Chains A and B, each alone.
Chain A
Amino acid sequence: MTGMAAHSSADPGAFARRRALKAGSRPLAVVALAVAALFGLGFLSLMYGAVTLSPGEAWSGLTSDSNVFARNVVWQIRYPRLLDGMIVGAALAVSGTLLQGVTRNPLADPTILGITAAAGLASATVIVIDPQVPQWGIVLACVVGGLVGAGVLFVIAWRGVVSPVRLALAGVALSAFFGAVIVALLSSSRTFLQTSLGFLAGGLYGSEWRDFQAAAPYVVPGLIGAVLLSGRLNVLALGDEVAAGLGVLTDRTRLLILAVCGVLTAVAVSIAGLVSFVGLVCPHLARYTVGADNRYLVPVSALYGALLITAADLTARLVIAPSEIPMGIFTAAVGAPFLLYLVKFKG
């Protein structure tokens, strides 16, 4: 080691550093743009809905008590709903990024691998058993369900070494099974149509501050965990043998990553039900804009997820205003063609 690195010239890194800096400034620009877009779109979603507020009304509703009506619309309904949507989008997108990295499969996402359905099954079960269950109970159930889903996926796919193909196949089967049980559960309960449609298709109808408060204790550590694991995920993407040779404990890392995915997906399900395709589309968009480095992909796809859900929810509220349709329909409308495109050209 000593003699080998030493023969380099005075400042051999200078050129490499310049190149890296140039490449490194791009993610920053992307993040800045996405944050700006998120603020813009977020403000629009404070203005529009069943009633339209002018920009001035929305702003005063957000920042002061002067206009009681605007204050109520913004603070009681739209602002918490906006933040809930951002959490859902970021959680699903990051979960998808981690899953695509850990399975080395561009088609992986929490819905396709069955984690969404596992969390949804847990959520539907507690709601059917006790319709009055508090939000923290639903989140807890979802987290347990999400972790169990991720764990079952890991165990079923396990045979000494977890192969990406086996993981994906197991996910497809689990997803179909849990999905069927959810529908069976919901159809046998009395409140089927009203709440269940929003839950099955995925929507933010009626989401409130308590959703945000119940989700925060899970989503914050989940996102931090994702950022901390992203460096190891980079190495894991080189294949198990290379990763192990570089000092990554592959199975332990995979288990940790799946656990984070389980928690993040669960949080999203507890708020918005079975939203599909966000975890599939956003990582690809992020990869397209900032490249394959997961340390950039995680935050950037989180922003894209928040953007996508905010846009989808705004659309859902506006299409047949003053009524609304489940937001998940729009993420599916964007996501399904995208999946077909991936299968055709990347799968």
Chain B
Amino acid sequence: MKLTVENLSLGYSGRTVVKDVSLAIDAGEMVAIVGPNGSGKSTLLRGMSRLLKPESGRVLLAETDIRHMGAREVARQLAVLPQAPDAGSDLTVRELVWRGRYPHQGILQRATKADYEAVHWAMHGADVADFAERPLAELSGGERQRAWIALALAQQPRVFLLDEPTSFLDIAHQVEVMHLLRRLNHEGMTVVAVLHDLVLAGRHADRVIAIRDGQVEFDGPPREVFEPRALERVFNVPMMVIQDPETGLPIPLPRPDPRFCPVAHAPATDEPGK
């Protein structure tokens, strides 16, 4: 399902954070949004998911302005996973995932076969079925993140927005989450994730959108847009891009400053430090 952002401006109590952004995200794309802290990428995600009311502009889901749709109607098609969500209770994974059925259920309506199937699919899709009866508090960071993803999957969304789904996770769990998102994407889901990790963005996203000062700085496939100059403009730090020897995909890295590197491991290449 296509998600279109038209001249969107939004912010908090008078302070505009996202300024006149227009984007078209096609059905089935896997998009990473990158940018420095405070650049407005999380705010943009909130605007795209109806969590924050635009100051101007609009967001279209398929062809309809999400402001003209009911909140539950939007939630049946678009799921959003905020940064570091907290259930704040001793909820089990199964109880958490069941709450993802809320937008599909009527008041006092009994659970239907479709609800059970969706929960089953979500728990297997996010690979949390093995610890479904355990409380969230007892899970590792990676397991807990997968449980929250399962909650969103229980909504059966066609568009899935995530805000920094890999933060606070170790490398193995980061990879696990990205593979899960990629798998969902292969099954037809449109995935848009705010990512801090440029390596993950370059490796798993079809398209990277860089935000700086609330505006789109660059937008395109990582092979084309991950270019040191462009990255330096966005992140305000000397950057370099190396090539993944296995896939040929770009790996952006901050340029090392030899003054802050261990002496014993001085650069082995003959490339001068500029």
Give the B-binding residues of A (Cβ under 8 A): 1, 3-5, 7-8, 12-13, 15-17, 19-20, 104, 160, 227-228, 231-232, 234-235, 237-239, 241-242, 244-249, 291-293
Contact = CB atoms under 8 A, between A and B. Distances in A.
B218 interface: no
B89 A245 contact: no
Contacts of A12: 116-117, 120-121
B248 interface: no
B124 to A, nearest CB: 8
B91 A246 contact: no
Interface in B81-104: 81-82, 85-91, 94-96, 99-100, 102-103
17 contacts: A3-B187, A4-B156, A5-B114, A5-B121, A5-B156, A16-B119, A17-B116, A231-B102, A232-B102, A235-B99, A238-B87, A238-B151, A242-B148, A244-B51, A247-B72, A247-B102, A292-B89
Contacts of A1: 77, 156-158
Contacts of A5: 114, 117-118, 121, 156
Contact of B85 (A4, A241, A293): A241
Contacts of B103: 246-247
A8 B117 contact: yes
Given A5-B121, A13-B116, A292-B95, A246 B155 contact: yes
Nearest to B73: A247
B261 interface: no
A interface SS class: helix
Contact of A13 (B71, B120, B125, B156): B120
A235 B70 CA distance: 17
A246 B113 CA distance: 20
Contacts of A235: 99, 102
Contact of A244 (B71, B91, B107, B108): B71
Interface of B: 12-13, 46, 49-51, 70-77, 79-82, 85-91, 94-96, 99-100, 102-103, 105, 107-108, 111, 113-114, 116-121, 125, 133, 148, 151-152, 155-158, 187-189
Contact of A228 (B51, B81, B108, B152): B108
Contacts of A15: 120
A4 B73 contact: no
Given A16-B116, A228-B108, A237-B88, A245 B121 contact: no
Nearest to A13: B116
A16 B120 contact: yes
A234 B120 contact: no
B95 A291 contact: yes
Nearest to B103: A247
A238 B99 contact: yes
